[in-house]
Structure 1
Amino acid sequence: MISRRTFLHGAGAGALVIAIPVPALAATGELAPTVLVRVDRHGRITATAPRPDIGQGVRTVVALLVAEELAVGADDVRVEQAPGDTDRFGSQAVANSTSTRQLHEPLRRAAAAARCLLVTAAALRWRVPAGECTAVDGEVCHPRRGRLPYRALVADAAAIDPADVPVTLTPPHQWRLLGRTTSGRVDTADIVAGRARYGLDTRPPGALVAVVARPPWLGAKPDTVDDRATRALPGVLDVFPLTSPGEGQGGIAVLARTTHQALRGRDALRVTWRAGTPAADSRQWLADLEAALPAQGRPSGPQRTYRLPLLAHAPMEPMNATADVRPNAAIVWAPTQDPGSLRTALAQQLALPPASIRVEATLAGGAFGRRIEPDAVLEAVACSTRAGAPVSVLWTRDDDTRHDSYRPMSVHRLTAVTDDSGLPVRRSHEVVTWPLTVVPPFADPAVIRASGDHFPYSVPGDVTITVQPAPLRTGFWRAVYAGQFGYAEECFLSELGTRAGLDQVQLRRRLLPADSRLRRVLDHAAARAHWSRHPAPGTGRGVACHLDYGSAIAVVAVADAASRRVLRVHVAVDVGVALHPSGVRAQVEGCVLDAVSTVLGAQVTVRSGSVVESSFSDYTWARIDQTPDIDVTVVSSGADIGGLGELAYPPAAAAIASALAAATGTDVTGMPFGSDVG
């Protein structure tokens, strides 16, 4: 069986590659110049989304790209989710904010190829130059010959060799849909009406339900199991251990006909546990990290140490998966971030050819890095294999919070050398943290630095990273290490500015090139926040910038001293070309709310070997009354399209913490603000 670690190593390596689909003639009566776009004989257009939609709206971008090039409305494009298949679709990993960056050109070219073939087919029928024909609203038009709908041209277009037809892309100045603020999501109506199908909605005919009794403390293993009361309950069909690396995180599975029966059965189990670390305490882990900071040898100057906690992902849809494993084939339905690598891994595990494995990526109610891991799928496959029937494995909210792969703890010591005006001229950043246990390369300090250290200012310095063994599972969490490095670096820069009496915006402007994209978005954010005016009494303001994923962003936050509420957050973001501006705003808003949540109090703690937090009652994610006014300005630079999904979290968290510090006069020493860490 393949282990979770092996799967994730492969997934991480493949996440940076995208295959350009090979052009191919469609079956008779259908035009399909590539695997990404097809037009059927009725003129209906279907676009294939190679990567899953985990809430980031990639299916909407797919529809807009294809509709733009085929000269139709977005509602005229049906978006179909691709199954896991790296041979046909290349990398299907939703990671590192790459989906739009890597898919926009293949999708545009696929749709443009279909348009050019349809135009060529019309030109041949009319015996006129193709250059005299245009595609408009699902028709090919000629000033003298009239109009032909796509459906009348599909068969002729499919018979033309795509290699004989030059492909021209629609220039940006002619875009009707891309770049328009008013474009909504293609699936909003289905989501609101409950028609959209998520992983938790998947229940094939005859499917059983399994839940897992999980270890009560870290690393514990079942010792004795008394399942007599469980087996006596109505609807309970089986009780069995999950023990191998190919069966998820481990525990005792209870298989039943319904969710209620499975949960009742789990409650009735009597299990004793052994081994693991029943005395583990996150306060001690934090102390150990701090003790591992290098001995002082850096230039003397202003210094601050920041302590950052464990964080859980807490997607609104808990982990789940459904599998139907038969002797010669298997189907998996899962809200996964990488259906292609999952299919490859399952083929190895089940000793079946990849063609016998089908992985259907459902919609996901959030992911934030958690669903790159296959543990829920491995559990479903193990349960279905034993049951000989389709099985849905469900995690409760408590399961999700207490058995996550957490963002690592870290300690950051920053030291600066400043000139006579207080401006930093040299910096030192010493970090002690844990690796990402789910991806072996992230034990390498060089890999951690590449992920985390994106200091954008003209201040030379040294970054030293010490990696300690992780005492529990750790994994990707939105922005990965940049969320920790950027938070510490920007909070420290703000503290230096406060000590020297420097204006926070002007401080950053002086450290950025005059023509930089980052300085431009900083100016936009400051203008939107009316930075030149004095803050209102009892409030404080914070600023932070970030450069990552080929994009630039600046954030100004305003906080109230008395209530410690974040009142307003102003964001200016440059993703090069914003294909879907309302989607850009939604992504930024999501990151800002993650920042509000983690700065104001959310953290994971461990006592007596167990994760204390269990749900949103104690893992305190921001409520509606804590939501600030969020103002997002999209700045176009014409640069290459950049990534976005994780971009706003690091500067939003730093700006919010610095605003609270300015409002209350309390120094930032970590996260959450003003609270004990660990």
Structure 2
Amino acid sequence: MNPATGNPFVRIDAESGLVTVTVPVPDTGQGVRTAVAMMVAEELKVSVESLVIEQAEGDPDTYGPQLAVNSNTMQRIHEPIRTAAATVRHQLIMAAAHRWQVAEDECDADNGFVRHGEDCLSYQELAEEAAALTPTEIKLTPQQEWKTLGNPAIKRVDQDAIVTGRLAYAVDQPADLVAVIARPPWIGATPTGFDAAKVHNADVVQLEHGFALLAEDTYTAIKARENLATTWQGGSPDADSDQWMADLRAALPEGSTPPGEYVEKIFVTPMLAHAPMEPPTATAKATEEEVTLWAPTQAPDKVRKLLEEDFEKVTVIPTRAGGAFGRKFEVDFVLEAVQLARHTGKTVKVLWTRDDDMQHDSYRPLSVHRIRATVNDEGLPVWRDHAVSTWPLSAMLEVTSNPQILKMMMANKYPYGVEGEVHFAISEPPIRTGFWRSVYAGQFVYAEEMFLSGLEMPHNQLERRLKLLTDQRVRKVLEAAAEAHDGEPEAVACHRDYGSVVAVIAETGRDGRTKITAAVDVGVALHPSGVRQQVEGAIMDAVSTTRGARITVKQGKVVQKSFGDYPWARIGDTPEITVVVVASDEPVGGLGELAYPAAAAALGFLSHGKQNGDLR
């Protein structure tokens, strides 16, 4: 189909017969390219392998919202993509029926052909004629007839390219110059001057937040940065995360006192860095009027609108991202590339090293949680009060600085039939904060489930939740997890969010290896193997955070520099994981952030038991 059809997602080349699928949302590892290909393959009755996959440029006017955030990609795009592909199928059938002078409902589309009895025409032969037709009714393929959607055997479309190293990332984009930036030596410092006497084969450009070193290759740029003498002023050279935590403890809201005698526990959660395997990288080519950007952004539409404030013509090309988890929703690395490209008049690639990203990230906020609960004779909570002291997100200050909005956001996260109240106290962030996988739910659900797990009662972790659950959908997934779990439910946690629900059971096996069973209901599971991969990834993040990954600040500087002192899980740390995808008739739900809070709570209790204190 050609662009004149108004279908931006699917087109058939009349000369080659190739079917090209345009994926409107960036793929940051969540598998959206595969899911979109599956939708088109299902509705167009072709194989996934036969499709050519293209990534859409940043263009919300053509593709609609393009944000890869908030775990809502599938919810947002599955109907438009399926409808687009089904429209093309109907166009092809209309064209064939017109040629044969038969009724459309007597024709079938399959494997690149439209058939009517012994007659057969390829999609290629019909493409040009079909593009001019407008179907009066579009019927999506019923779920009971699916061959591709819902098929767990479909592998990722870029799997082989990733494994063999052929997939191009942002760092592979060619450029005239490579830039690295000397960043503030302590939080909030601003640059005042530099001495480039020992810098060779590189140019220095002073920015508002640092000094850019530009050279023809990465090695020269990094060596130049090492040799540049710089001076700084202002900021918070004495900042200390222990003091920040003490301040948050002191700021805990008073909350409400439960009726009668009550149990009280306090939990704290640390700052976390995103630590995507691919640090931020962006390449830009710019003049005064025009800019082209290549970047692994989670928000190509947002970036385009931002750049349109300064340029008459903007082209944003999202590259495949090697992980994001909220980090690449930020635009700092993008704007650096654009500024330097405009300044030099050349194509500039900005590279962040691992140390750069770890020490200058937008971190998950610190938080302190005090939970009080009145319990009955069985030890089950019957009334609870949850007080939270934390920071807003720098990327969304106006919204997340409002305690009432955060209270509303968290109100539907608690699935148990226990009356209670939630109170938030929001303090100004002393460091840049941002979206981190599951945002505030990661801390909130962690504290709630840890509290429930630690209560003294005769019921085991599974029984106490089954007694308290009022959400029948959550109960169903918890029962599915229990049925699939071969062992003792030493630690259990549940979570509901994004129109989906999950339950996680964990135990330490006889061989010392952790065993985890997760059951998930994401509504209609369009890409079951992708569902399992997302849950497994969230569990591995929880393995890392419950084993000690944290960001700390001493003398104004982030202490951690790399995976050496920010201990993210290695292959050998992988638990024995079973993921059960529960069949569901619910609408398509979100997934990317769903499993982390429950997994962190289950693994946290398994690791730390009934302790109070510095947990996550």
TM score, norm. by length of structure 1: 0.88
Q: Compute the displacement of 1:26 (Å).
A: 3.2
Residue matched to 1:246: none
Letter in 2 for 1:504: Q
Residue matched to 2:29: 55
Is 1:334 the equivalent of 2:303? no
Residue matched to 1:379: 336
**Residue pairs, 1:395-544, within 5 angstroms:** 395-440=352-397, 441-453=399-411, 454-496=413-455, 499-513=456-470, 516-530=472-486, 535=488, 541-544=490-493
Q: Compute the displacement of 1:668 (Å).
A: 4.8
Aligned length: 611
Residue matched to 1:264: 223
CA contact (8 A) 1:119 1:135 kept: yes
Is 1:658 the equivalent of 2:616? no
The counterpart of 2:2, out of the listed 16, 22, 26, is: 26
Is 1:301 the equivalent of 2:262? yes
Residue matched to 2:514: 567
The counterpart of 2:615, out of the listed 671, 674, 678, is: 671
The counterpart of 2:55, out of the listed 68, 74, 81, is: 81
Residue matched to 1:215: 184
Structure 1 residues 84-116: Cα deviation after superposition (integer angstroms, max 9, x where no partner): 011111111111101111000000000000000
**Alpha-carbon separation, structure 1, partners of 2:365 and 2:284:** 31
**Residue pairs, 1:93-242, within 5 angstroms:** 93-143=67-117, 145-160=118-133, 162=134, 164-204=135-175, 207-230=176-199, 233=200, 235-236=201-202, 238-242=203-207
Is 1:280 the equivalent of 2:224? no
CA contact (8 A) 1:115 1:135 kept: yes
**Alpha-carbon separation, structure 2, partners of 1:201 and 1:384:** 17
Change (3 A) 1:227 1:634: same
Paired residue secondary structure (1:545): strand
**Alpha-carbon separation, structure 2, partners of 1:296 and 1:99:** 36
Structure 1 residues 549-599: Cα deviation after superposition (integer angstroms, max 9, x where no partner): 0001000011369x9x65111000000111111111111111000000000
**Alpha-carbon separation, structure 1, partners of 2:10 and 2:408:** 36
Letter in 1 for 2:445: G
Letter in 2 for 1:589: E
The counterpart of 2:585, out of the listed 628, 638, 642, is: 638
Q: Compute the displacement of 1:33 (Å).
A: 4.8
For structure 1, which segment, 185-194 or 302-311, has the greater mean C-alpha deviation from structure 2 after superposition? 185-194
Change (3 A) 1:58 1:450: farther
**Alpha-carbon separation, structure 1, partners of 2:5 and 2:30:** 27
**Alpha-carbon separation, structure 2, partners of 1:59 and 1:318:** 21
**Alpha-carbon separation, structure 2, partners of 1:659 and 1:552:** 21
CA contact (8 A) 1:33 1:110 kept: no
Q: Compute the displacement of 1:186 (Å).
A: 0.4
Change (3 A) 1:485 1:384: same
Q: Compute the displacement of 1:78 (Å).
A: 1.2
Structure 1 residues 60-80: Cα deviation after superposition (integer angstroms, max 9, x where no partner): 001000000000000111111
**Alpha-carbon separation, structure 1, partners of 2:578 and 2:480:** 11
Is 1:545 the equivalent of 2:545? no
Q: Compute the displacement of 1:439 (Å).
A: 1.3
Letter in 2 for 1:653: A
CA contact (8 A) 2:374 2:382 kept: yes
**Alpha-carbon separation, structure 2, partners of 1:374 and 1:446:** 28
CA contact (8 A) 1:97 1:646 kept: yes
CA contact (8 A) 1:598 1:671 kept: no
Q: Compute the displacement of 1:621 (Å).
A: 0.5
Residue matched to 1:368: 325
Structure 1 residues 255-284: Cα deviation after superposition (integer angstroms, max 9, x where no partner): 111111100100001112221111111001
Letter in 2 for 1:370: R
Residue matched to 1:318: 279
Q: Compute the displacement of 1:671 (Å).
A: 2.3
**Alpha-carbon separation, structure 2, partners of 1:450 and 1:400:** 32
**Alpha-carbon separation, structure 1, partners of 2:544 and 2:65:** 32
Paired residue secondary structure (1:360): strand
Residue matched to 2:529: 582
Paired residue secondary structure (1:653): helix
Letter in 2 for 1:38: R
Paired residue secondary structure (2:560): coil
Q: Compute the displacement of 1:504 (Å).
A: 1.6
Is 1:606 the equivalent of 2:565? no
RMSD of the TM alignment (CA)?
A: 1.6
Q: Compute the displacement of 1:443 (Å).
A: 1.2
Structure 1 residues 481-510: Cα deviation after superposition (integer angstroms, max 9, x where no partner): 0000000001111112xx012122121112
**Alpha-carbon separation, structure 2, partners of 1:472 and 1:528:** 43
Structure 1 residues 321-357: Cα deviation after superposition (integer angstroms, max 9, x where no partner): 1010113211000000000110110110x2x23xx10
**Alpha-carbon separation, structure 2, partners of 1:671 and 1:173:** 46
Residue matched to 2:347: 390
Residue matched to 1:18: none
Letter in 2 for 1:397: R
Is 1:622 the equivalent of 2:581? no
Structure 1 residues 275-324: Cα deviation after superposition (integer angstroms, max 9, x where no partner): 11111110010011001113475124011100111100000000111010
Letter in 1 for 2:265: R
Structure 1 residues 438-459: Cα deviation after superposition (integer angstroms, max 9, x where no partner): 2122111133234444111111
Give unmatched runs, 5+ long, in structure 1. 1-24, 244-249, 673-678
CA contact (8 A) 2:369 2:389 kept: yes
CA contact (8 A) 1:544 1:654 kept: yes
Change (3 A) 1:297 1:452: closer
Paired residue secondary structure (1:602): coil
Change (3 A) 1:338 1:296: closer
Q: Compute the displacement of 1:178 (Å).
A: 0.6
**Alpha-carbon separation, structure 1, partners of 2:428 and 2:403:** 12
Letter in 1 for 2:611: D
**Alpha-carbon separation, structure 2, partners of 1:239 and 1:267:** 12
Letter in 2 for 1:26: N
Letter in 2 for 1:644: L
Give unmatched runs, 5+ long, in structure 2. none
Paired residue secondary structure (2:394): coil
Paired residue secondary structure (1:417): strand
Change (3 A) 1:610 1:254: same
Paired residue secondary structure (1:438): helix
Paired residue secondary structure (1:153): helix
Paired residue secondary structure (2:613): coil
**Alpha-carbon separation, structure 2, partners of 1:474 and 1:96:** 16
**Alpha-carbon separation, structure 2, partners of 1:370 and 1:378:** 14
**Alpha-carbon separation, structure 1, partners of 2:341 and 2:17:** 41
Residue matched to 1:8: none
